[in-house]
Structure 1
Amino acid sequence: MKFKLKNTNNKARRGTMIFARGMVETPAFMPVGTYGTVKAMTPEEVKGIGAQIILGNTFHLSITPGTEVIKAHGDLHDFMHWQGPILTDSGGFQVFSLGDMRKISEAGVDFRSPKDGAKIFMGPEESIKIQSDLGADIVMIFDECTPYPADKATADQSMQLSLRWAQRSKDTHQALGNNNALFGIVQGGMYEDLRQQSAKKLIEIEFDGYAIGGLSVGEPKEAMIKVLDFLPEQLPKDKPRYLMG
């Protein structure tokens, strides 16, 4: 992926992400194809409304229909009949939304499938491997989505775990020889200094783009806006930014 910054106006930016499968003009909205389809729409209809990139859900796709079923068709593009770029989330948010059905450790997360109750483990290595198998044009690191509300000690602990997982995600991405884009995810809750620490460390690790995670998780709108007011200035100007939601 290449990124060209076209114009700026205060904090607003216009740019172009260039992939082998096509270009995406930013800012861009990504329709969500959770299970390999955008609900009630054909790929032609999705393209017809102007969408240039869509989002796939690693957690759900790995369970239904399953990674092996998708690979039997080629990759996620072939399975969906969508030949434009695809971003896959890491599955982290969905795993952490399972509540008592999951257990977090340094290695990753043990949880039970919401489909049939089967025991499943997912860590950075597993998530990145699945996303590689899906053929995602943008791969997201595996992270812990810091809950809201969270005291500073909890937010710090969560952020540090996500940073260690970020390094493992990149190491796995490189070991697989995957040349597609890999995005880091800034965490740190509602705490400005933690967000700054997270952004600084992710920049040191080096990613192709940077996402802002841990928002739209129940916090007041004013708290979200406060994070968005200062955080983008901490991120590289020559890389795309992704507001997760």
Structure 2
Amino acid sequence: MAVVKGQALYKQVAREMRKAIAKGTWRPGERIPTEDKLTAQYGVSRPTVRQAVAELRADGLLDVQQGRGTFVRGPQPEQSATINIERTVVCAGDQYHCPAGWHDAEEPTVYRVRLEATAAETLAADEGDAAFLVQRLYTHEASGLRARYSGLLPMERITGTVLAKHPELFNTDAYAALAAAHGPVEWHEGISARMPNPDERAALHVPENTPLLISQRVTRTQTDARPLMLETLTMTAAATELTITHRPVARQPGPSSHPVDPENSIKRAL
């Protein structure tokens, strides 16, 4: 390999490896040469080869399979369009509705758990408080997108509601039950991203080197923003768009800054 001055050596190796893939010297699904052979072929060190492999892996050209080696990835299906997920919450009277389109890919599971520190802080509860953990795997009807859902309901917040016996109720039914027990509710939602772990990649059918989109929604009271339930929705970030729409609402006079919607119409689109 002819060395080009002023360019990182690993990038030069990566360029030569790309040529081998483009020319068909290394074919899709084929294992590339070992590190020893690559260091000899390009006249570089092992760390340089590893950096070059890491760059091609990040570009989606190589797939490292533990215990088997590194393989050339086959052509990946193109995403024809961005998948728009609108999570609108509509309130009419004492009924709550969300857009249809999500279906259970598996039966939901319910566990009795103790709140860990991070969740307890989010829910303004004490670490170790009893709670229900509801887990579901969803499929989006229109796009086939898979999403993992988890809901945390502190026992103290659902005592005397239908959720104490049926915590697996879909979120809109849960909102109605919480509103009946605690008064009008609102939602606070945060969006973040991170790389998936192997279990998430398998469950959500996420390609390698594709980040996840995580939406965390806290249902809370309108009067004092007391947290009642924590929901987390996890899905691939590839060509996925979450729509969040805000509608101006009236505010109660006085020190409280939390919005109240006197018409009890759309509270917030999340």
Same fold (TM over 0.5): no
Higher helix proportion (structure 1 or 2): 1
Higher relative contact order (CA 8 A, sep 6+): 2
So what's the TM-score if we normalise by structure 1? 0.25
Larger radius of gyration: 2
